[in-house]
Amino acid sequence: MNRRRAGLIFKRLAERDPAPQTELVYRTPFQLLIAVILSAQATDVSVNKATVALFRDAPTPARMLALGDAGLKEYIKTIGLFNAKARHILATCGALLERHGGEVPRERSALEALPGVGRKTANVVLNVAFGEPTLAVDTHIFRVANRTGLAPGRTPLEVERGLLAVIPPRYLQHAHHWLILHGRYTCTARNPRCGVCPIAIWCEWPEKSRYAAVESRPTRVRNEG
């Protein structure tokens, strides 16, 4: 897809939601970092349920590290892969205290050096906490980019590079959230809502007409009289 067509897609998404926000609940860059680590293979809803108490009782790296392994697991045990996540979070808290004075670094290399932090997590933190025009390709963005033809790719990195090549610079700040929310609520994995999709006119997915027809089909009301 060329930049002009991509620009039309993001213009429409921007008109519908000028300032999209993450659905993770946090108050500081540190809390965002922890929430994003916890969100791997988990929903934002489940993460938010767990972090309400966690961030209340342990809002800083020092206080979270003081919980210890068993203590931290009590807060996050409802989240998938909580054993590994607890280990990474405690190691990250230690690294933040030892290397960065307890603050979350703003450099990609420093973020990716933290335990349990990969490119996707670093991109989220850079974008949401520090306003950098980065793209974190999660399962929703990967699907939307491939399905619509915006940036077909076999890996998240291929998709990220493809999106950065076609998205006009003025839309990069919020592109991450527009695509995530679009994939989460409209361009869903199963039964995508093509009939109400605001960017369907530019979508290159060959199956969209079938799903649009299903959604727009009138509901038959049975006469109960």
Residue-wise pLDDT for 76-92, tens only, equals 999 999 999 999 999 99
User: What percent of the chain is modeled with pLDDT above 70?
Assistant: 94
Note the pTM of the prediction, 2 decimals. 0.86
Q: Are 150 and 6 in contact (CB under 8 A)?
A: yes
142 shares a domain with 116: no
Of the pLDDT bands very low, low, confident and very high (cuts 50, 70, 90), residue 140 is very high
Which CATH number goes with the domain that contains 42?
Answer: 1.10.340.30
Which ranges constitute the DSSP H helices of 28-186?
29-38, 44-57, 61-76, 82-100, 108-112, 119-128, 139-148, 156-166, 172-185
Q: Nearest CA to 107 among 129, 137, 138? A: 129
Instruction: Report yes or no on 221 lying in a domain.
Output: no
138 is catalytic: yes
Q: Are 135 and 164 in contact (CB under 8 A)?
A: yes
- Summarize the confidence of residues 132-141 as an average pLDDT: 93
> Which bin fits 43, alpha (ψ -120 to 50), beta or left (φ > 0)?
beta
pLDDT at 216: 53
200 shares a domain with 119: no
**Which one of the listed residues 17, 69, 85, 138 is annotated catalytic?**
138
Q: Are 161 and 142 in contact (CB under 8 A)?
A: no
Instruction: Report yes or no on 220 lying in a domain.
Output: no
Instruction: Report yes or no on 222 lying in a domain.
Output: no
Statement: residue 98 has pLDDT above 60 = yes
How many CA atoms does the CB half-sphere of 58 hold within 13 Å? Answer: 22
pLDDT at 209: 84
Which CATH number goes with the domain that contains 149?
Answer: 1.10.1670.10
Tell me the pLDDT tens digit for each residue of 9-37.
999 999 999 999 999 999 999 999 999 99
Tokens of 196: 């109400």
Give the domain extent around 176: 3-19+135-215
**Which one of the listed residues 17, 44, 77, 120 is annotated catalytic?**
120
44 is catalytic: no
Of the pLDDT bands very low, low, confident and very high (cuts 50, 70, 90), residue 222 is very low
